Chain A
């Protein structure tokens, strides 16, 4: 289970400006203002938001790469700020950057991460086989990743993120650059991972594509302009915005909130 509680993050960035020779000025950008949600075990939670809403920053804070300015992030009861390594051990993250080592085979890429997670070589190899079967990677396993297609890269990176069989899976825009078939295959894999309620995993993925959310997510968290603006099932959100089409609902929620004042109460079905 992943719990995100009122996190905020501000970055200082350099402005290009008109400064040609002078050192360019620094400005502050509030990437995340107030994001809160809970992703439960055995549930696929979608983090939906327009570009620049703060999704990637939130997920990076979850993985301990960025310290939040405010708020808490908790993975299976472990505070990310207090013990980041213990928290990361319980996460499988497929981040925005999913570079592989081109001179290593797919198997070596996967086993390397297994070893970094403290697995024995045998266990890591066994797990690589298992994941290859699940993600339809077997024919690629002994090939160097140099000439892999986008979809093959994504699958390898996903297998690498899941090598330690994490109870929580976080995916940042996993369908970016994938064709229909690869997207479908990924969806199947995610359903299989959520699968049986007993070993049900907590799956959290961010996207800006409506169809992904409609087809796959049990719950949706809508983020806009660094804030959580809605949280519920697709049906809930449709009902609340009084629309038939999910795209309309999303636009109303995301852009309505960004345009409106900050005091708009967060819609939630949790209450």
Chain B
């Protein structure tokens, strides 16, 4: 046990002195998440401001005074479309969809010929696309008003038009609605854990082989399991440290949120950050062990990087299973490391209460994986030192 502590201390000092690597991990994993969050919030903010501006961009409004009258009665401001609106939409310069009114709009309307009004948008222009639904709703309102007036003139009840009334009721709480936007948070935190563990895990195994320091290390009277346990502890600690930093980094990020709605919905306080860290500790430990087990087979750091790519990919893609297959959470998901943490962190973000079972199950899963991987490393250590 004392030997394990000695090894742990040394490996931790060694890993923390590797400033350049730590800096890279900090920039790439810890700062990236909040940056993306702020970027998304500014997108949401533009969507909101377009909705608030109550503006409609119309090409050829002069040909349609009736439509202009309707729009202005709805308290919308009608703005003429620029001439090159198609190009602007394609380049995503114009953030609003454009309503194109034909020149014979008024006469066709009077004749009852249903003039065709186009709503022009670009599916790759997300802001314009988001506004298109609103504009279509507005135009349907115009169309409905015309119908109601026509029917009323002929003495037909308006209810004939609506044999069915549809009303929607949203059950989502403020937090679960925000989870649509904050759903990527767990992903970024998981990435931080992975990249935090990666370098340290490779350095204490393949790096030690490459330097030729593993053979002398094994000529000490320390037991092999205590050497491996010490190394594992140090790698897991570095990984948890990065996880803590990453979880905390989202706290200041929310002050920078540009969208008021998102800011109001996004509840990420110290309690959530703490829960994140608690959920991530078993994952960091298991991942460290697995990375070490993969790397101990490699003779050089470079070789280890190549073979650990599989683990890194798996750990970062497994959580996507939820994205690709939305629906009820299945119990098996809690047994899969990375996926389980993703599921649980999403629950935390949604403001759901965590019970004991979903915490214990991933813990057992991760513990099993760690023990297997660590036993493998301890077994391979001696043959690894000699080749």
Contact = CB atoms under 8 A, between A and B. Distances in A.
B386 A112 contact: no
Interface string A61-89: 00111100000000000000000011011
Interface stretch (B3-11, B130-138, B160-168): B3-11
A118 B211 contact: no
Contacts of A97: 212-216, 385
Nearest to B226: A116
B221 A99 contact: no
Interface in B205-243: 208, 211-223
B223 to A, nearest CB: 7
Given A101-B14, A104-B10, A115-B6, A65 B221 contact: no
Given A97-B213, A98-B212, A116-B7, A60 B18 contact: no
- Among A60, A65, A160, chain B packs the most CB atoms within 10 A around the CB of A65
B91 interface: no
A188 to B, nearest CB: 23
Contacts of A65: 215, 218-219, 382, 385-386
B215 A116 contact: no
Contact of A103 (B3, B17, B208, B223): B17
Tell me the dominant secondary structure on chain B's binding face: helix
Given A93-B216, A97-B214, A116 B221 contact: yes
Contacts of B214: 97, 99
A212 B145 CA distance: 107
Contacts of A112: 6, 10
A116 B222 contact: yes
| Interface size class, chain A | 20 to 34
A246 interface: no
Given A112-B6, A116-B3, A157 B216 contact: yes
Nearest to A57: B386
B13 interface: yes
A7 B385 CA distance: 21
- Among B17, B214, B219, chain A packs the most CB atoms within 10 A around the CB of B219
A182 B350 CA distance: 67
Interface in A73-130: 85-86, 88-89, 91, 93, 95-104, 108, 112-113, 115-118
B223 A85 contact: yes
Interface string A225-252: 0000000000000000000000000000
B19 to A, nearest CB: 9
Contacts of B10: 101, 104, 108, 112, 115
A134 to B, nearest CB: 20
Nearest to B3: A116
A2 interface: no
Nearest to A113: B220
B213 A101 contact: yes
A104 B216 CA distance: 16
A222 interface: no
Contacts of A116: 3, 6-7, 217, 220-222
Contact of B219 (A88, A102, A108, A115): A88
Interface in B96-142: none
Contact of A99 (B3, B6, B216, B220): B216
Interface of B: 2-3, 6-7, 10, 13-14, 17-18, 208, 211-223, 382, 385-386
Interface of A: 60, 63-66, 85-86, 88-89, 91, 93, 95-104, 108, 112-113, 115-118, 157, 160-161
Given A65-B385, A99-B214, A99-B216, 7 more contacts: A88-B219, A97-B215, A100-B211, A104-B17, A108-B10, A113-B216, A160-B216
